[in-house]
Amino acid sequence: MANNKKSDNTTTQQRMPASKRFAVDLKTWGPFVALLALAVLGVLINPAFLGLDNLSNMLTRSAFIGIIAIGATFVITAGGLDLSVGAMAAFIAGVMIILMNSLVEQFGAGWTTVLLGIGASLLLGICAGFINGIVTTKGKIEAFIVTLGTMGIYRSLVTYLSDGGTLTLDWAVRDIYRPVYYGSFLGITIPVWVFLAVAVIGYILLNYTRFGRYCFAIGSNEKVAEYSAIHVDRVKTLTYMLQGVCVALATIIYVPRLGSASGATGVLWELEAIAAVIIGGTMLKGGHGRIWGTVVGAIMLTMIGNILNLTDAISNYLNGTVQGIIIIVAVYLQRASWRKTGP
């Protein structure tokens, strides 16, 4: 009996067109193949690309967008969209700096002040995500419109708080806080460890929990999900709250890097986060998401900027142009692939 079943499966696979089998594999491994090709290109352009310092710096810089993009994977998989992440990060960073500067007088420039600032950052991220989620679901307003509006609100608020200038973290607090970005463990920087931890948790949450299955179901067909007794509004709101937590985590490891925040902080982070998600194989229309693909997408985007820095052939100022082209091509290839092979 077992041999007959095995024979049937083998026959079915043999009957499947080769092009279809290849397309299915490409959906899974495409981002990894693209990352490898990009790495080879980087080495050919400049051998310094493989330097340990360069690789460490590249991975560390990819952690910011990568963490935010993991949160965006949940939102997009459930059929949503969040354009406010960059402005949200700027607002959280501004409030965090103001709070820690004010706490210096009471608690001094120590870890108590830093930890209270980190706690406030996480709380703000949860609240900001909840606002995006509840207005989208209960208000029955398109996520594009809601998050476009909150993007303007958060960006305006941080500009107001900084009085049109820059908010700067107290130097004594910054000295204590610096290891969160510049420190390392086992030769790997702290931001990369945080990025890896968030990716592992995100992968388990999306692929091995009821919440993850609900995200897939809602993104595939929201009406069917409702008929299946899934609390659609609750799940979608939770995805935005999870996005807010990821933005807060990215902000926590970003602030000690520059020790400042302004209205220009986090500009275009939403573009990079969405690009990382789409490049990684998550469908923009929802219903399908890949955490490790998102991780690869975030690294690829940082790698592109790094390669542009290592060559004079293309100006680094065109980094946004290259990213925009990649988004368009990635979405086009996704549509073509899924139209031919199906999920």
Strand partners, 260: 168
Express each pLDDT in 289-337 by its tens digit: 889 889 998 998 888 888 877 777 666 677 777 777 777 777 676 665 5
The model carries a pTM of: 0.86
Q: Are 262 and 97 in contact (CB under 8 A)?
A: no
Chain CA centroid to CA 168, Å: 26
pLDDT (0 to 100) of residue 47: 81
Torsion of CA 257, 192, 94, 302, to 10 degrees: 80
Sites in the chain below the pLDDT cut of 70: 1-28, 30, 313-316, 331, 333-343
Q: With residue 167 as reference, give the H or E element that holds it.
A: strand 166-168
The pLDDT value recorded for residue 7 is: 46
Strand 166-168 and strand 184-185: pairing? unpaired
* pLDDT value of position 338: 55
In the numeric block, which tokens belong to residue 264?
């220009």
Specify whether the CB–CB gap between 124 and 248 falls below 8 A: yes
CB atoms inside a 10 Å sphere around CB 142: 12
Amino acid at 251: T
| CA neighbor of 301 nearest in space, from 319, 316, 284, 282 | 319
d(CA 154, CA 180): 25
How far apart are the C-alpha atoms of 113 and 6, rounded to whole Å?
A: 62
167 strand-pairing partners: 261
Identify whether the C-beta of residue 130 lies closer than 8 Å to the C-beta of residue 240. yes
Q: Which two tokens stand for residue 146?
A: 């809601």
Residue 306 CA, chain-centre distance (Å), reads: 19
Q: Which residues does residue 166 pair with via DSSP β-bridges, in sequence order?
A: 262
pLDDT of res. 316: 67
Alpha helix positions (H), the chain: 2-15, 18-45, 52-77, 85-107, 111-138, 143-161, 171-177, 179-182, 190-207, 210-220, 222-227, 232-258, 269-279, 291-310, 319-341
Helix (H) or strand (E) holding 261: strand 260-262
Spatial distance between the Cα atoms of 52 and 30, rounded to a whole number of angstroms: 26
In the 8-state DSSP scheme, what is residue 188? E
